Amino acid sequence: MVVEIEGVPIHLAHPDQLSVRWVGQEEVMRQLLAAWLVVDENDIPMNPRLIGKPGVGKTTLAYAAASRLGRDIYIMQATVDTRPEDLIVQPVIEGAGALRYVASPLVSAMLRGGIIILDEGNRMSEKSWASLAPLLDQRRYVESIVAGIKIKAHPLFRFVATMNDDSSTFDLPEYIHSRLQPQILIDFPERDEELAILRENLPFADDKVLEYVTEFLQAAHAAEERYTVRDGINIGRYAIKLLSELDTRAAAPAPALQFAIRHILGDEALRYVRRN
Show which of 163, 185, 207 is a domain's final residue.
185
pLDDT (tens digit per residue) in 180-199: 999 999 989 999 999 999 99
Average pLDDT over residues 5-20: 91
| pLDDT value for 172 | 85
Q: What is the CATH number of the domain that holds 39?
A: 3.40.50.300
pLDDT digits (tens, 9 = 90+) for 54-65: 888 899 999 999
DSSP letter for 127, please.
H
Same domain, residue pair 171 and 200: no
Q: Are residues 118 and 251 in the same domain?
A: no
Q: Which of 263-270's residues contact partners 24+ apart within 8 Å by CB, and which partners?
A: 263/238, 264/231, 264/234, 264/235, 264/238, 265/227, 265/231, 265/235, 269/220, 269/225, 269/227
Structural domain of 94: 2-185
∠ CA 66-67-69, rounded to 5°: 70
Predicted confidence at residue 169, as pLDDT, reads: 65
pLDDT in tens, 61-118: 999 999 999 999 999 999 999 999 999 999 888 777 778 899 999 999 999 999 999 9
Same domain, 65 and 10: yes
CA distance 35 to 38: 8
Of 152, 185, 218, the one marking the end of a domain is: 185
79 in the same domain as 103: yes
Q: Do both 63 and 162 map to the same domain? A: yes
- pLDDT at residue 20, rounded to an integer: 81
Number of compact structural domains in the chain: 2
C-alpha triplet 204, 209, 214: angle, nearest 5°: 115
Q: How far apart are CA 217 and CA 232, in angstroms?
A: 7
